[in-house]
Amino acid sequence: MLYSTISQETKLSKNRLRMELQKFYQAKEKRIIAQIKRKRGLAQGFVAGEIISFLTIIAAVTMITVTTSDVGRLAEVLIAVSSLIAYIVIRQKDSKNDEIISHLEDLSKVYQNELQGLAEDFSCFDEGQRYVNPHHAYSYDLDIFGLESLFQRMSRLVTTGGSDAMANLLCSLEKDNNNLPDSTTINKGHTEIESLANNEKLRDEWLAFGVREKIDTEAIRKTLFDTRDIKLPSWWGSQTVLILALAELGAFFISILLAAMNKVSGMLPLWWGTAQFFVVYLLCQNPLRSIGKGVGSLKGQLKRFVGVVKLINDEKAEVFIRMEQLIDGLDKRGNILGLLTMDTFALSDFFLVRKFIRWQTEDADKVNDWIDRIIAMDQKITIATFLFNHPDTCWAELTDDNNVTLEAHGLYHPFLGQKAVRNDFCIANRNFYIITGANMAGKSTFLRAIGVNYILARLNMPVFATSMRASRVSLFSSMRTTDDLAHGISYFNAELLRLKQLIISCKQNNHTLIILDEILKGTNSIDKLNGSRLFLEYISDLPVTGIVATHDLELSKLTGAQYHNYCFEIELGSDVTYSYKITPGVAENQNATFLLQKILQEN
């Protein structure tokens, strides 16, 4: 399996990893396209078979009315019945073949999307814009939602409930969360995700059900609960009524046989069948209309939901398999010829109503648990696909230490792909790390790399590092403050409000890791320096550990054992050289004047 193979070859370059994944998805897509072509050829044969069998039925029935010999009539009846059976079988196979073609097209789209993602174009995936919240503790600063976000890069969720649950999970580090599972549970979870990463067939089939549109789990939940409460007369489920219906159907077939043997008039089964159709149709019309109002509006959604349920391969999935049969029955009623045939010869609508009653009594109460189970599985498959597409990631070690701990080796920002430069970094409890460096040297990117990977580590997701060890504390950042002119909030005022929000949050939590990028950017340099010093000295008395990026080299002169200086240094020559490597110390070189002079000289 590709994931197992690549994950063992740790020396593979990022570029080679990407090429291996491209080849994998391209080969998959090629096979699917070939299958689609074969299935479309079969569809043409099925259409021809339906036309021939239908015309044969018409011809046989016509001949029965003019044939005088008993043997001839019997032969024609057998031909008509055989042709009817053939028509029904071919029709079912044609319908099934169409479903397979549609699903194969969805699978092909899954592989196309993954290839697009490998080319760093994530526009085909859900960006989660609806979850963007500038006031959240960290999600806005760290690009968790929105265009080109972490959510968009990792989300392969096929259900709306799965999307909401994943979004809530990614935002859950705002407060202390002490519900950390023990190491045995964590390792079991890792094993399950790795198993899913290797189960390419299950993941691909699962993703195909959401590639056109997400399955609306809340709408399904509401619809099925409303449908469960539909009231039908008790006699519909009666065993006596079932026996009478089967007896009547048997008598009808006997009349056909007797008419073929010229024992009774041929008009008897004709009128009987006609009456039987109208009685069944009219009797079942109102119940089926009530059922169809709820189920019919979400027919496509329900069928796809049943599809993902069946993928779990659990005997309890019978709950939704019966629902699928009910949906199929309602769907087939749209074919007038099929409805006429099936109600006349099989009392189809009658048995469809009874099937619904069985679902009401035996299955409806299990719906809620099943929807929750699918939402949980949806998240696992998304994480497994994320792991599969990034086999050079690793699992972080989560500690039971209540203090802030973070040790990372070979850490990098997941958005950078081939351009990423790895760094080692350690964070100790109640310490502050002042990071200086020139413009574009990598300070903000490094801060976001720490933040994003800490989120992934805490949530038991693969992290972009060689190894990582982290404790479970809350997270807060201030990196992307914006003004709000509509409410009369200036940029500087917005900064103050954000810092106030940070202080309140830190006081409410036992321990907090904070990530700050340029404190008080919206004021003059002297005021900014004094304000930054005042702020850091104040929060150092709180249960807080922090990383602070700044252009203000004077801030690096803070005294105290808890303050540490790191930098991203550049080299100035005929041009600027960026290493993007973090080192101890204070940055010596700046590039703003150098780059501006270069622009002025060129113009």
Q: Which domain holds residue 358?
A: 156-391
Q: Looking at the domain assignment, is residue 256 inside a domain?
A: yes
pLDDT of res. 526? 85
213 CB-side CA count, 13 A: 10
75 and 180 co-located in one domain: no
So what's the pLDDT on residue 8? 47
pLDDT (tens digit, 9 = 90+) per residue, 103-118? 999 999 999 999 999 9
Q: What is the DSSP letter of 314?
A: -
Judge if 259 and 217 occupy the same domain.
Answer: yes
Q: How many domains does the structure of the chain reveal? A: 3
pLDDT of residue 11: 43
**Do the domain assignments include residue 374?**
yes
What's the rounded mean pLDDT across residues 468-489? Answer: 77
pLDDT band at 91 (very low <50, low <70, confident <90, very high): confident
Q: Is residue 254 part of a domain?
A: yes
* 386 and 493 inside one domain: no
CB 582 within 8 A of CB 425: yes
Does 308 have pLDDT greater than 80?
A: yes
Confidence (pLDDT) at 395: 95
Q: What percent of the chain has pLDDT over 90?
A: 48
Q: pLDDT value at position 153?
A: 95
pLDDT surpassing 90 at residue 18: no
Closest by Cα among 122, 136, 113, 75 to 210: 113
Q: What's the angle, vertex CA 375, arms to CA 371 and CA 379, rounded to 5?
A: 165
The lowest-confidence range among 63-67, 239-243, 420-424 is 63-67
> Which of 7-11, 73-77, 298-302, 338-342 has the least mean pLDDT?
7-11
Regarding whether 291 and 203 lie in a shared domain, the answer is yes
User: Helix 299-311 vs helix 367-389: angle between axes, to the nearest 10 degrees?
Assistant: 70
Q: How confident is the model at residue 2 (pLDDT cuts 50, 70, 90)?
A: low
Nearest to 477 by CA among 534, 430, 544: 544
Mean pLDDT of 141-151: 96
Query: Which residue did the predictor score with more confidence, 551 or 68?
Result: 551
Q: Residue count of the chain, please give it.
A: 603
Give kind and range of the element (H or E) at residue 583: strand 576-584
Helix runs in 318-366, H state only: 318-332, 336-346, 348-362
Pair 279, 374 in one domain = yes
Looking at the structure, tell me whether residues 532 and 500 fall in a common domain: yes
Amino acid 394: pLDDT:
94
User: Cα 574 to the chain's mean position, in Å?
Assistant: 49
| Residue ending a domain, choose from 96, 121, 146 | 121
Binned at pLDDT 50, 70 and 90, residue 551 comes out as: confident
Select the highest-mean-pLDDT range: 269-278, 409-418, 442-451. Answer: 442-451
pLDDT band at 339 (very low <50, low <70, confident <90, very high): confident
The 10s digit of each residue's pLDDT in 184-209 is 778 788 999 999 999 999 999 999 99
CA distances from 159 to 38, 124, 204, 402 (A): 31, 16, 15, 35
Q: At 180, is the pLDDT very low, low, confident or very high (cuts 50, 70, 90)?
A: low
What is the Cα–Cα distance from 226 to 223, expressed in whole angstroms? 5
In this structure, what CATH number is given to the domain that contains residue 480?
3.40.50.300
| Domain identity same for 245 and 331 | yes
Distinct helix (H) and strand (E) counts, the chain: 19, 10
459 and 345 share a domain? no
pLDDT for the residue numbered 489: 59
Domain end marker among 391, 414, 443: 391
Once rounded to an integer, what is the mean pLDDT over residues 449-475?
94
Sign of CA dihedral 251, 80, 335, 104: positive
Q: How far apart are CA 183 and CA 197, in angstroms?
A: 21
When the pLDDT of each residue in the chain is averaged and rounded to a whole number, the result is 87
pLDDT category at 589 given cuts 50, 70, 90 is confident
Give me the DSSP letters along 554-581: GGGG--STTEEEEEEEEEESSSEEEEEE
150, part of any domain? no
- Which one has a higher pLDDT value, 366 or 135? 135
478 or 296, greater pLDDT: 478
Per-residue confidence (pLDDT) for residue 128, from 0 to 100: 96
**Pairing status of strand 467-470 against strand 406-411:** antiparallel
Which range is least confidently modeled, 67-81, 149-163, 360-374? Answer: 67-81
Question: Are residue 484 and residue 586 in the same domain, yes or no?
Answer: yes
Q: Is the pLDDT of residue 7 over 60?
A: no
Instruction: Give the mean model confidence (pLDDT) for residues 39-64.
Output: 89
Residue 285 domain-assigned (yes or no): yes
Least confident segment among 102-116, 178-192, 335-349, 511-525: 178-192
Say which residue the tokens 């106030």 belong to. Answer: 500
- Considering the domain boundaries, does residue 148 fall inside one? no
Does a structural domain hold residue 8?
no
Whether 301 is in a domain gets the answer yes
**Same-domain check for residues 233 and 198:** yes
Distance between CA atoms of residues 562 and 329, nearest Å: 71
Among 366, 391, 416, residue at a domain's last position: 391
pTM: 0.84
Residue 513 β-bridge partners: 475, 545
**Strands 423-427 and 432-437, bridge-based pairing:** unpaired
| Whether 82 and 116 share a structural domain | yes
My answer on whether 367 and 405 are in the same domain is no
Helix spans in 333-421 (H): 336-346, 348-362, 367-389
Least confident of 45-59, 370-384, 512-526: 512-526
Which pLDDT band holds residue 484 (cuts at 50, 70, 90)?
low
